[in-house]
Structure 1
Amino acid sequence: MTIARHLATIDLLRARPFPARPGRSDVGDSGPGYHTAELSTSEDFWEDRSHMEIVGEQYEAEREALAALLSRRWGPPQVFSLNSVFTRSFEEAEEIPDPWDTLSASVPDVHLWRVEDRWVLLGVSKWDAELPYQLLVVVTAIDPP
């Protein structure tokens, strides 16, 4: 079951120590203070862009379903827009720490929980029109900017 696998990945990342240097892990990227995992990735839209909106809605629905299960564990999430983070980083050249800087380039908003000493984030990433959607989870000790 996909949702069960997603929950297992989230639990794994919450328990895993953060690395000293940025790098690739078995499920995504990790660095000092954060882990990112690609829970699911759509296909590219190079050939067939006609169903792109439908796929985007499916990824949003998958995030909402997973968020509902996590809300049973930790309570309702905060919904945190990353638009101002993107503006501060790319237009105002403010130095924003990862994972927030990288997320803000492709994720408009995240569902956010504070669990013990870490943040757990769920977001849907879309880098460009032809590129795939991704359902992402981030576990980080770095506070939102």
Structure 2
Amino acid sequence: MDVVARHLAAIDRLRTRDLPAGGAGHHTVELETGREPRRAADDLHALREAIAQRLGARWGEAPPWGQLTVRLRLARGEEIPEPWATLCLRTDELDVWQADDVWLAVGVADRDEADETCLLATVTRTAPP
């Protein structure tokens, strides 16, 4: 199984996990982590794009969601629901789809140099802000 197919299978498993009915529950997993700082980020962004192409074929193409506006809103004191508040601080952009009643976001967490770069997937019933 190639790496993209492996991550798609992990995303499919993530989508089947229970989320609290009617609540703001969410699950976030690290699909892959990078070892070398800059190269790892470039590789993980390429992997994110490959996954986004496959998911776009399933649920429709959508441009990546830039996180700068959400970060600015958060900095001004606006209440941003989870998981979106955390994701905007960890990622610069997300690929986002709504499938049935669940939102799926995939992004690369590489904003904090102190943290290891990683490819994230999140499922939630809470719509993006």
Shift of 1:131: 2.6
Please give the per-residue CA displacement for 1:107-140, whole angstroms capped at 9, x wherever unaligned: 0110111111111111000142243211011111
Q: Please tell me whether Structure 1 or Structure 2 has the larger radius of gyration of its CA atoms.
A: 1
Relative contact order: is structure 1 or structure 2 higher (C-alpha 8 Å, sep ≥ 6)? 2
Mapping for residues 1-145 of structure 1, pairs under 5 Å? 1=1, 2-19=3-20, 32-43=24-35, 52-89=37-74, 91-145=75-129
CA RMSD of aligned residues (A): 1.8
Q: Is the Cα–Cα contact under 8 Å of residues 110 and 116 in structure 2 kept in the other structure?
A: yes
Please give the per-residue CA displacement for 1:37-61, whole angstroms capped at 9, x wherever unaligned: 1000112xxxxxxx63222111110
- Secondary structure, counterpart of 1:78 in structure 2: coil
Please give the per-residue CA displacement for 1:3-44, whole angstroms capped at 9, x wherever unaligned: 222111111121111158xxxxxxxxxx9421111000112x
Q: Is the Cα–Cα contact under 8 Å of residues 78 and 113 in structure 1 kept in the other structure?
A: no
Q: Distance in 2 between matches of 1:5 and 1:32?
A: 27
User: Unmatched 5+ residue regions in structure 2?
Assistant: none
Q: Distance in 1 between matches of 2:28 and 2:102?
A: 13
Please give the per-residue CA displacement for 1:77-98, whole angstroms capped at 9, x wherever unaligned: 2321111111111x21211111
Q: Distance in 2 between matches of 1:107 and 1:3?
A: 20
Q: Distance in 2 between matches of 1:58 and 1:40?
A: 10
TM-score, normalised with respect to structure 1: 0.79
Higher fraction of helix: 2
TM-score, normalised with respect to structure 2: 0.88
Runs of 4+ in 1 over 4 A off after TM superposition: none
